[in-house]
Amino acid sequence: MRSLFLMQLAGMITLSAFPIASDAQEARPYTRRTVITFPSTPEGQGSGAQNEPDRGRGAFRVHDLSRQWVEFQMERAFPEQEDPSAGERQSLPITVPPSTSIAVPPWMLGQDSPQSAALRYTLGCGGASYQPSGLLRPAEELRRQSYFALMSQIACAYGIPVSLFDAMIIQESRYDAAVFSPKQAFGLTQLMPGTATGLGVNRYNIEENLRGGAAYLRQQLDRFGAYHLALAAYNAGPGRVRNRQVPPFPETLDYVATILSNWTRLTGAQRRTTLIGEGAQSVRLGRSPSVSRF
């Protein structure tokens, strides 16, 4: 019975592959491919009708010869074979070229940036040794101690007395590197956004904030030639320092007087500085006369 069914099915496939001659001119040519898979019969079992209920509807499988199906069958028919040389390749040492053509920033290589190197190796600029200031609370003094070496190196590199720069930072921020002022000045030296941009520094970086503050103070010292006028320009702006006088603003007068007084305490020296404002009385600090011009 199975042989008869196969013969009938083969005849149907043959007829479907060749269209009737009378309709050959009207019909559009096409190709149909069909694969019929017969499951193999296990050894020891016959092909009688008693085995047909066991095979059920899955006795025949018809598959379309699509690309995905062919790929799937090929993967099953040809499983991957291990490459005998794979183990040898894994045991070979990995070599890394000693140099690369890719530009790598110096900080990724653990090297000093040019600015840091210039500050660390400036000839004759070894900085000052740390001593407690006696001007700050314990937590503030700890911050000052942590930044003192860097602060002194930067001050020395810009030709600024270390104790003067130290006293200015104490007045500006009390060594709080994350403090904002109501006017949006930021950091240890309280740089304004426009000032930092003009100096080409990132005021949110501690070292660059210190470097920007030292550079700005150095500019005022070179312009006015006096410490008290340079400090006044740092606080109120250089445009407000006229006729070689400190602007008559209470905040600026107190700012300059406090820094000069703390500078005296930090250096242990006695100096007298006269601050002359428009319509303001002279303010004298210390007992020994000295000149703050150079």
Which positions are catalytic?
A: 172
Residue with tokens 């559009």: 28
How far apart CA 130 and CA 136 sit, in angstroms, is 14
Which of 109, 99, 116, 98 shows the shortest CA–CA distance to 153?
Answer: 116
Kindly report the number of other CB atoms within 10 A of residue 132's CB atom: 10
How far apart CA 60 and CA 91 sit, in angstroms, is 50
How far apart CA 169 and CA 212 sit, in angstroms, is 12
- The tokens of 176 are what? 């709080």
Residue with tokens 């006096």: 226
